[in-house]
Chain A
Amino acid sequence: MNDVTRQFRDFFVSLKLTVVLLALSLILVFAATLDQVNLGIWGVQEKYFQTFFVLARFGDFPAPVFPGGYFIGGLLLLNLIAAHLYRLKLEWRKAGIQLTHAGIIILLVGELLTGLWQEDFQMAIKEGESKDYSESFRLYELVLVDTTDPKFDEIVAIPDTKLAQSAVVQHPKLPFRVVTTAYFPNAALARRDPAAPASPAVPIASQGIGPGVAVTPLPITYKMNETNVPAAVVELIGAEGSLGTWLVSPDLAAPQTLTHGGRTWRIALRIARAYKPFALELLKVTHEIYVGTDLPKNFSSRIKLTTPDGRDDREVLIYMNNPLRYGGYTFYQYQMDSARGLTVLQVVRNPSWLLPYIACIMMTIGLILQFSLSLRAFIAKRRATPSPVAA
């Protein structure tokens, strides 16, 4: 082994690297916690953790100022694995430490997989209503619903990320292309004064409700209690040329339709949906408070769970700290408006949800093993030497 590879190896297996990385992660977590006041919980995750470098803006130029979560976490993982492979000795004395660190590896990998795989949706249901889809917290989709056949709707959904990229979308089910002319991640809509001059940044849609609406782009908000409401102007281009432009936004309640080649579509930008192979009907919401106060004691939703094939048809009770796990999804009691008979469930799919549990067990056993071995050695040593008081 030559000097360079040895140095390389020594760098990756060294405890100094571990200590430095731990110190860096402490600073990163601290800074991210403070910044939550400005950015909110989602913004912080993007800026500090789900990134290789934390970027700061100097004028218009983003410059890396600190290693991000992926960088530190990745190096820690490398360091951990390298050090253990390098110093690997199978003996009882080391088993506790090895088990603990194996647990940490699983935990880190689990978090990475969660970041990649986890789907987080919500489901707002009114009493008596039944729903077979959940809705995203933050994502939107452009839908073109073919309503020609009264028996069923055929839906083409385009995620808002495609609109944001101004991508041209050509779908086999659509006899036209969808081109994004303008996209605003957050915007306010108002009635437009026809006499007022149009802002050059915001094209005015030619079809549907578009000509009568003024769009004011807003900065993206990261606040916990505010949501971004996007708006977009899309152009539909058929074989014979443009069919016109439409303004779409979740804030436009009235449906906009278009007819082309003898078929009718509804066009809308709505909160992204995820359809489920089963339906939940809300039977009853209960909001308990402590007597004489407005302190919430419990929120619970009585739900009827049904599948189209009729195999499942039963009642379940979802309440705080007691979610429903079904079909790979977990439904949690999230929010409630008992006066309006409305419940909001959080719907999560995370295929790697078991990993933290396994990691926890491994680390607990590992640490207890390690410390009890140390403690035994320590007590044995104390017994061997007389205590200063007794002397």
Chain B
Amino acid sequence: MKKYSALLFLLLGLALVAKSFLPERPKTDFDLAAFGRLPVVVNGRVKPLDTVARTSLVVFQSSQRVSAPDGTPLAPNEWLLDVLFRGSRADAYQHFEINHPDLLAIFGLTPEDGRNKRRFSFRQLEPKIAELQRQSALAGPVDAALRTPFQKAVVQLYSNVGLYFRLKGSLVAPDHKDFLAELMTFQSSVTAGVTAVRAKQANQPHDEALAARMMEAGARFSRMDELAYLLGVPPADGEANTTGWKKAGESLLESFQTGQIAPAVMVYAGLARTWNAGQAKEFNELVGLYHSQLEKKFPSSLTKCAAEARFNSAEPFYTASILYVLAFLIAVISWLFWPAELGRAAFWLVGLAWVLATAGILARMWLEGRPPVTNLYSSALFVGWSAVGFCLALEYFYRNAIGSVAAGLVGFSTLLIAHHLSLGGDTLEMMRAVLDSNFWLATHVVTVTAGYGATFLAGFLALIYIVRGLFTASLDKATADALSRMIYGIVCFGTLFSLVGTILGGIWADQSWGRFWGWDPKENGALMIVIWNALILHARWGGIAKQRGIAALAVFGNIVTAWSWFGVNMLGVGLHSYGFMDSAFWWLIGFAASQLFFIALACLPLSAWRSFRPAT
């Protein structure tokens, strides 16, 4: 057992990874996965409906897990199908998250009325929608940064309900009975109908009923055009035309002129009918037919959508975070029992988690056609990835499980941060014009983010030094020296990456804005990391701080880095405020306070340190 423990844990980890990549077993006869792979355009990007389903759910209720009123769990695609095509049923799904008690009071609801005490259905909100709209109109003019928690909750919920409506009107008319039948009648009479309407306008004899039907259809289609969230109709000329995607409503309005309804619109109407009628076979055939049609003109979009849907369901970063926790626990235990065997097990698990995270990041890069870091979410992934990379190198040289403990800690916490950042919606975003430069994203952003990772890692290693030295007797001189050298080495890397990254950023700024340095908050944040790392190095070289002092300084580096990473975005000023976020403010304060507490601990006299206390 002892001898094979490392192998056992590795196999366990591999099994976990393998399970996440296996396709989910379908619970229905409908081919939900194939439906989820169909491409649409949202926020300027071609993405599979699977992503639309998951990101909408996350925006509505901070979680992809949803269930029908009777408690049956729904797959995200099943949920989306009901929202898109069977509104009457979706209206009863409790998927709007409301946490603010005053907001619940507006609807006359109590937490007990909701699923998990915080999620409510549209039907529950419907009677007071007008009041929600009024409250939102009151909160709307207030500057986003100055809104009260209640106002923020109102604006968020109103926008979520709006998104729900827009999804419902994206592919079929929201109040349709049988949209396919409606379209077929329309198709057969559109030419005559347009003539009738023209005649009516010219005050000539015409078929009054037909003209009225046409006007009504036009009104319905323009309502769909206004509402729609998805651009579901691909351009006829193939994927080279990136701007040709249309809303179903827009495409239907065009059919008044062409007399033809776009195939995609018909397909979705057909899917609506078969989904509502429970005709799984016909549904699957239709999806298959549409896939093979698209295959001719959109081969690479389809490949990417299929890969993205698979990526979504595998959730590699979730699995990686479990592996990091496991590795952390095993590595800590290895300080007490079986150091060699459990140490190796932890090392291998960290390695496995890191390989998985690497694969995840590479997959995102390929999907987006971008370097690894493009927004705050991907920066969290990359900070963790680079820090764990350093840990693997440390562990390879030192074999004392410290690298694995730090890797587990940093790896898990960065993925946790990333998870919370992903609650805003789709994390694969298009780049604003000013940031649209793969060269600089690949050099400046990557280097600076690796600098964040290294500086955080030095801080976490210092935390290990303080906690082990102060509270346990396990930090013998050899380990303390080794740990101190590790901190120093990582600070060196932190200096290298943050300095080079910051200067590259200056050069990018010179290239795009005409000045090398502008004292922009994000630039200042990066500069502060450089200054702090330089300070640690000079304090060590000058003999001003010894092991404990360096550890305390390195912990302060955590605060500096957290400030630079998130704090400056909260100021809401400057050219870099694209990463704006407000809810994390108290988390940042709490983190800084905890780090100050550890620094205070590090300043306790040697006699208080269990590892260094002179033997009595």
In the complex, whether A227 has a CB less than 8 A from a CB of chain B is no
| B 507-529 contacts with A by CB, 8 A | 507-508, 510-521, 524-525, 527-528
In the complex, whether B496 has a CB less than 8 A from a CB of chain A is yes
| A 276-306 contacts with B by CB, 8 A | 288-293, 295-299
- The reply to whether A26 and B434 contact each other, CB–CB distance below 8 Å, is no
Which chain A residues lie closer than 8 Å to B531 at the CB level?
A: 22, 25-26, 29
- The reply to whether B510 and A378 contact each other, CB–CB distance below 8 Å, is no
Which chain B residues lie closer than 8 Å to A40 at the CB level?
A: 573
In the complex, whether B279 has a CB less than 8 A from a CB of chain A is no
Given the known inter-chain contacts A367-B496, A371-B493, please indicate yes or no for A321 contacting B503, CB distance below 8 A.
Answer: no
Report B554-583 CB contacts with A as 1/0, cut-off 8 Å. Answer: 000000100100001001111000000000
In the complex, whether B110 has a CB less than 8 A from a CB of chain A is no
Which chain A residues lie closer than 8 Å to B504 at the CB level?
A: 360
Report B20-47 CB contacts with A as 1/0, cut-off 8 Å. Answer: 0000000000000000000001111100
- Tally of contact residues, B, Cβ under 8 A: 71
Which chain A residues lie closer than 8 Å to B400 at the CB level?
A: 388
Closest to A288 in B: B433
Closest to A297 in B: B433
Given the known inter-chain contacts A26-B535, A41-B574, A107-B503, please indicate yes or no for A120 contacting B430, CB distance below 8 A.
Answer: no
Binds B, one of A13-21, A125-133, A143-151: A13-21
- The reply to whether A297 and B535 contact each other, CB–CB distance below 8 Å, is no
Which chain B residues lie closer than 8 Å to A15 at the CB level?
A: 538-539, 541-542, 544
A353 in complex: contacting residue of B44, B244, B516, CB < 8 Å: B516
Closest to B509 in A: A356
Binds B, one of A30-38, A159-167, A181-189: A30-38
- The reply to whether B245 and A291 contact each other, CB–CB distance below 8 Å, is yes
Q: List 30 A-B contacts (CB under 8 A).
A: A15-B544, A16-B542, A18-B542, A19-B544, A23-B535, A26-B528, A29-B527, A29-B531, A33-B571, A41-B574, A44-B519, A118-B515, A120-B515, A290-B43, A290-B44, A297-B433, A297-B436, A298-B436, A323-B511, A323-B512, A332-B513, A346-B513, A356-B506, A356-B517, A357-B507, A360-B504, A363-B503, A367-B495, A367-B500, A368-B496
B148 to chain A, nearest CB (A): 19
In the complex, whether B231 has a CB less than 8 A from a CB of chain A is yes
In the complex, whether B158 has a CB less than 8 A from a CB of chain A is no
| B 19-75 contacts with A by CB, 8 A | 41-45
In the complex, whether A49 has a CB less than 8 A from a CB of chain B is yes
Q: What number of residue pairs across chains A and B have CB atoms under 8 A from each other?
A: 176
In the complex, whether B399 has a CB less than 8 A from a CB of chain A is yes
- The reply to whether A41 and B518 contact each other, CB–CB distance below 8 Å, is yes
Closest to A300 in B: B433
Q: How far is the CA of A364 from the CA of B502 in the complex (A)?
A: 11
In the complex, whether A330 has a CB less than 8 A from a CB of chain B is yes
Given the known inter-chain contacts A32-B519, A111-B517, please indicate yes or no for A364 contacting B500, CB distance below 8 A.
Answer: yes
Q: How far is the CA of A295 from the CA of B578 in the complex (A)?
A: 12
Q: How far is the CA of A37 from the CA of B524 in the complex (A)?
A: 14
Which chain B residues lie closer than 8 Å to A292 at the CB level?
A: 41-44, 231, 245, 247
Q: How far is the CA of A40 from the CA of B41 in the complex (A)?
A: 38
- The reply to whether A19 and B542 contact each other, CB–CB distance below 8 Å, is yes
Q: How far is the CA of A41 from the CA of B571 in the complex (A)?
A: 13
- The reply to whether B519 and A360 contact each other, CB–CB distance below 8 Å, is no
Given contacts A14-B542, A15-B538, A22-B535, 19 further A-B contacts (CB under 8 A): A15-B541, A22-B532, A23-B535, A26-B531, A33-B525, A36-B571, A107-B503, A110-B516, A291-B244, A292-B41, A292-B42, A292-B43, A297-B436, A320-B512, A321-B511, A330-B514, A356-B506, A356-B507, A388-B400
Which chain A residues lie closer than 8 Å to B517 at the CB level?
A: 111, 114, 356
B231 in complex: contacting residue of A29, A111, A291, A353, CB < 8 Å: A291
- The reply to whether A33 and B521 contact each other, CB–CB distance below 8 Å, is yes
Which chain A residues lie closer than 8 Å to B485 at the CB level?
A: 378
B238 to chain A, nearest CB (A): 15
Which chain A residues lie closer than 8 Å to B343 at the CB level?
A: 389
- The reply to whether B573 and A224 contact each other, CB–CB distance below 8 Å, is yes
Which chain A residues lie closer than 8 Å to B495 at the CB level?
A: 367
In the complex, whether B534 has a CB less than 8 A from a CB of chain A is yes
Q: How far is the CA of A347 from the CA of B515 in the complex (A)?
A: 11
A282 to chain B, nearest CB (A): 18
In the complex, whether A359 has a CB less than 8 A from a CB of chain B is yes
Q: How far is the CA of A7 from the CA of B602 in the complex (A)?
A: 33
A351 to chain B, nearest CB (A): 13
Which chain A residues lie closer than 8 Å to B573 at the CB level?
A: 36-37, 40-41, 224
- The reply to whether A293 and B44 contact each other, CB–CB distance below 8 Å, is yes
A107 to chain B, nearest CB (A): 7
Which chain A residues lie closer than 8 Å to B503 at the CB level?
A: 107, 356, 359-360, 363-364
